[in-house]
Amino acid sequence: MEKPGFDRSKVSPPYFKPGYLIRRGTGYIFIFFVFMLLVSGTISFDQVVKGDLVLTSLNPPVQIKVKRDGKLSAIFKKPKDSVKIGEIVAILDHPASFNDITYLRNILINDSLRISSLDTLIKVYPVNLGLGTSLQQVYNKYLEEYHKLILENKLGENKAIEQGLIKEIDNQAAILNSKKKELQLFKNNLVISTQKLNRHQKLFEKGVISKSNLENIELEFSEKNQQYVLLEQKLIQNYAHLNRAYSDLEILRKSALRNIRLQNAELIFARQDLLNQILQWEDNNVLKSPIAGMVSYNQFWIEHQNVSEGDLVFSIIPFNREKLLGKCMVPIHNSGQIKKGQKVYLKLENFPFREWGMVRAIVNSISEVPSKDNAPSFVVYLEVDNLKTTYGKELNISQELIGTAEIVLNESSLLERIFYQFRHLWTT
């Protein structure tokens, strides 16, 4: 019920006044948007390409592997021992004598082919060296060629050698004739003894003589037969001496400068062949250090332990490892933007980067063509000045380090990244 004197037309409809934020919201949103644009234009955003990394020195550790199955017959170096270039670390078992082969190799290297006497040749190159089957054959060939060269060099020096050989031939021929006559006499006596033995065997069968008489006859026959065989062997030896003397005389009489040169060439070839065989033997049986450094065992090794072909036995860590080189495999995507001098950050698995920090590097070069693996990739080579991390810690490299490399392609603002997404709308 309306109060008396109340005029409804003079009353305005209800009105709610908006709050402060609602009244100013549009302005604040606009200001915030402008502020975000300014911030996104100043904040840089690095575009990176990641790849697998192997970090090592320019003179990396060298791995020593065995080239055949066998046993470690001798180990000369312990872990962390120093070695020189070419120093022996271990030897595999082999029938040949390592000392004899080493002696022969040193003699071959130092010998200038000036041995002029057969006696000296035998002293310098003994015939009883333990070289094994394959090396022994090549060694015998080398001695044979050396023997021929010595004879060739003596030809024409004087006639004494020739006269001596002629005299020796005459002596051997006289001895041979004497032995022939003596052998003929023994042969006749042996025929008589044979007849006598046959006759006494028949008498024994008839019971005329006793068994002891027959045994005496058989013993007499046996002794004469043995003397005949020995005399025949001596005759064969005399023939050999005579043939050798004739052979030496024939070589002596063929003396000429051409023959000496040819024989010298044959000896050089035989020597080189022997050296090659020795080097091949050492390559298969002797583990040497190709560089100077420190020995590192890849597992525990003891003498007489079995090894298999391809086993990694030792590693040699070089002393000087100041210069470092990084090798990074990057995918094809975005690889066209990689250029020399770009910054790179290395995260090493041996030293977690959250604790140790990252190592700085720069791009040195990139391969021209990608690899043909299942996942094609380019090889990027990195220059690393030192191993001081972004946290100021100095890392120690004692082996190859693996990890991840992040190559910084360019530094662009967040605003540019946003507009990159819409650039194609303007260019199409």
DSSP-assigned letters across all residues of 139-199: HHHHHHHHHHHHHHHHTTS-SHHHHHHHHHHHHHHHHHHHHHHHHHHHHHHHHHHHHHHHH
Distance CA 55, CA 292 (A): 21
Structure tokens at 364: 């040195």
Query: What pLDDT is recorded for position 115?
Result: 76
**CB count, 10 Å around CB of 422?**
8
Phi, psi at residue 207, to the nearest 5°?
A: 85, 15
Query: What pLDDT is recorded for position 22?
Result: 60
- CA angle (150 as vertex; 241, 107 as ends), nearest 5: 115
3-state secondary structure at position 327:
strand
Q: Is the dihedral of CA 392, 397, 402, 406 positive or negative?
A: positive
Query: What pLDDT is recorded for position 281?
Result: 86
Distance CA 220, CA 271 (A): 56
Q: Is the dihedral of CA 308, 311, 314, 318 positive or negative?
A: positive
The length of the chain is 428
Query: What pLDDT is recorded for position 16?
Result: 47
Q: For the stretch 258-291, what's the b/e string if a residue is b when 16 or more beta carbons lie within 10 angstroms of its beta carbon?
A: ebbeebbebbeebbeebbebbeebbeebbbbbeb
Distance CA 89, CA 312 (A): 13
Ordered per-residue pLDDT tens for the chain, 428 residues: 455 554 555 545 554 455 555 656 666 677 777 666 666 555 555 678 888 898 887 777 788 888 888 888 888 888 888 888 888 888 888 888 888 888 888 888 877 667 777 888 888 888 888 887 778 888 888 888 888 887 777 654 545 666 777 788 888 788 878 878 877 887 887 788 788 778 878 777 777 777 788 788 778 878 877 877 787 777 777 787 778 878 877 776 665 556 777 878 888 888 889 889 888 888 888 888 888 888 888 777 777 788 888 888 888 878 766 677 888 988 888 788 888 888 898 988 888 888 888 888 999 888 888 877 677 888 999 988 888 888 888 887 656 788 999 888 765 555 555 554 555 455 55
Query: What pLDDT is recorded for position 251?
Result: 72
Query: What pLDDT is recorded for position 419?
Result: 54
Contact 69, 308 (CB under 8 A): yes
Contact 233, 174 (CB under 8 A): no
Write down the pTM of the prediction.
0.46
Residues whose CB is less than 8 angstroms from the CB of residue 248 and which lie 6 or more positions away in sequence, other chains included:
151, 165
Distance CA 175, CA 171 (A): 6
Structure tokens at 129: 């060296």
Query: What pLDDT is recorded for position 1?
Result: 47
